[in-house]
């Protein structure tokens, strides 16, 4: 995939913060001095089409967010109900759980859409 400087800038935001989700408005605000709004949304669409980032609905914030997609089709996600931190749950035990659901309950889990909500370590400490 061909990348422009603007696309590399936006992509570096996601790579440097893979656990963070960003709304389009937040991304526009972060790059308002260097990249115009139309270019940002065009680059986000391109990154999403190439499965480098993904756009998902965050029911806690009640909005769509973009997030770095590190092979998201193959694992579940944890979202902190307080701060919104997203954790990629790449874990062998999770794979066993999904296999159990598939075999014992004849149910195919959509890993890309499956999210577990709770409190992250930092928010749990202050709760």
Collapsed DSSP state (helix, strand, coil) of residue 117: strand
Q: What is the mean pLDDT of the chain?
A: 88
Residues contacting 58, CB < 8 A, separation 6+: 21, 64, 65, 79, 84
* pLDDT band at residue 13 using 50, 70 and 90 as cut-offs: very high
* pLDDT band at residue 46 using 50, 70 and 90 as cut-offs: very high
pTM of the model: 0.68
| Minimum mean pLDDT range among 60-64, 68-72, 85-89 | 68-72
Decide: 51 and 90 in contact? Cβ < 8 Å.
no
């Amino acid at each position: 995939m061909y990348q422009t400087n603007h696309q590399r800038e936006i992509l570096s935001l996601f790579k440097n913060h893979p656990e963070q989700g960003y709304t389009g408005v937040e991304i526009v605000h972060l790059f308002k001095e260097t990249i115009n709004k139309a270019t940002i949304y065009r680059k986000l669409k391109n990154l999403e089409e190439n499965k480098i980032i993904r756009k998902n609905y965050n029911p806690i914030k009640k909005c769509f967010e973009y997030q770095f997609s590190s092979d998201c089709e193959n694992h579940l996600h944890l979202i902190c109900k307080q701060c919104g931190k997203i954790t990629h749950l790449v874990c062998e035990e999770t794979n066993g759980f999904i296999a159990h659901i598939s075999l014992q309950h004849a149910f195919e889990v959509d890993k890309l859409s499956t999210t577990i909500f709770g409190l992250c370590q930092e928010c749990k400490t202050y709760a």
